[in-house]
Structure 1
Amino acid sequence: MQVNIKTLIDDRQCYETVRELRWPEGCQCPFCDSKRVIKRGFNEKEPAKQRYACKDCGKRFDDLTDTIFAGHHQPLKVWILCLYFMGLNLSNRQIAQELDLDRTDVQKMTTQLRESVVKKSHQ
């Protein structure tokens, strides 16, 4: 029996973890830093992704707005698994095989993740 690792990762837990790491003191607007934020339902394509609205600046955002994970076609759990495999020092080819992705997609993902880590370490 062959098991696909993507089926073992829980979407809700990935988003809860992102929320906890991103906003340890509670959700705040990525545009104006206000804590006067209300929940506005969930994303239709990713039901674990919470949407919000800021009561101060009026802008809308979600759990991934203004993060390295925003605006990509791969779900959050795929990015998390990619990070995990990078930590195990797997090659892009091995990661692509494990996640059943195109190698060029994995190359783009790992490059963006590495650049983000380097950028964060220089701040």
Structure 2
Amino acid sequence: MKIKVLLLLISMSLVSNAFAKTDENMTTTTMIQSDSLLRHTVFFKFKEGTTPAQIKKVEDAFSALPSKIEQIKGYEWGLNNSPEGLDKGFTHAFFLTFKSEEDRAIYLPHPDHKAFGAVLSPYLDDVFVIDYWTKQ
């Protein structure tokens, strides 16, 4: 009988340890979160008749934002070249990187971002935006 009680206590201890949050588990979770990056992806479809010079003006204005808004930690952009024909008229892809949702919250209403919107809006037919936390 003593052996059964002892085995029961050992089993309960093992089960409770399996579900306990340790410093090691907490560090791993924190590390993954701090290693993740917040990506803000933006895709543009321009109005029919928008000239190459007008599109260049938009490209240049967007590309100037990282030098004006310190919360942008990474920036890249490019033109669609997919052979699949599924772009639905979207030609431009922009990827901005932020370290936190707080940084993105500063960027979105930032006066320089708003000024960029004023440059873009006369030529914009449609926009598609997705934000996501990177995963390993």
> TM-score, structure 2 length as denominator?
0.26
Structure with more strand by fraction = 2
Please give the TM-score of this superposition, normalised by the length of structure 1: 0.28
Q: Which has the higher contact order (CA 8 A, sep 6+)?
A: 2
> Which structure has the greater CA radius of gyration?
2
